[in-house]
Amino acid sequence: MLSTKKTLFPVSRLEREQTIYRVLQILLKLRHIGAFVQNLTSSPQSQIMSLELRFWQARTLALATELGVADHLAEGPLDVTELANRTKTNASALFRLLRALESIGIFLQVSPRVFVNTEISEYLRQDVKRSQRPWIMHALSMGHGPCEAWNYLDYSVRTAEASLQEVYGFDIWELFRRKPESNMYFNDAMRAATQAMTSAVTVAYDWSRFAVIADIGGGIGTQLVSILEASPSSTGILFDQAHVVSIPAIDARIEVINGDFFKAVPEGADAYLLRFVLHDWDDSKALAILA
């Protein structure tokens, strides 16, 4: 006998993604409420100290990521001595690093000097879906732009100029052109950031009403691919600089065009997408992009 009861979960993929999106929004609000309550019960001095420690936490996280600790722990527990041999570090110093990260939920010491991955540190591995390693390598690892920019924040505040101009003599985009490794980390970071929120973007709009969708400054096309998956009747234009989009065709429905959005953008699209773009530029250049 067939049941007439409704299923607990939505049937279609769209309904599932919409439900997940709503749940995530609720959880985010609860997280903000929790932080607010914690601030109410903490002294101002404690709150400031907590903010100070976040810089240390970010740097220890970056170093563990650079060393590939999570990758080495992928198959199971390892003693610090073995980890030190694999990462070419000092065992005593590495032990202290891992204990510091354990205090914030990254890695777990299951027996004396033996560590395993946690649910959080699993996302530091290179081989997992939606890994956060690319973003950390781009944003927190020395030598790739953002770290140096933050180190010279005082220059930007005093002059209202990009600090990397002072550090390198050119902006971050020129750094990416000159340094393929940094460009790779940036592209991978944008892919990771896009994958983390792609469902929200594809669910938020009815993309099927646009025949042609142009992603301006779209990088390697991660967002555009997800949009076209949600809208099979649409085609896309991926527009960015040559060193960014000089990749094989990623979808038969996507036309890859190299160019500079300060000079011109492709014509003929029904919708133009600018994502993670305008915040990179000052007001005058942002207006030039939109003109």
Q: Are strands 235-240 and 114-116 parallel, antiparallel or unpaired?
A: unpaired
- Expressed in angstroms, the distance from the first to the final Cα of the chain is 63
Tokens 């142009």 found at? 214
Question: For residue 158, what are its two tokens?
Answer: 């005093």
Residues marked as catalytic: 279
Cα 8 to its chain centre, rounded Å, is 32
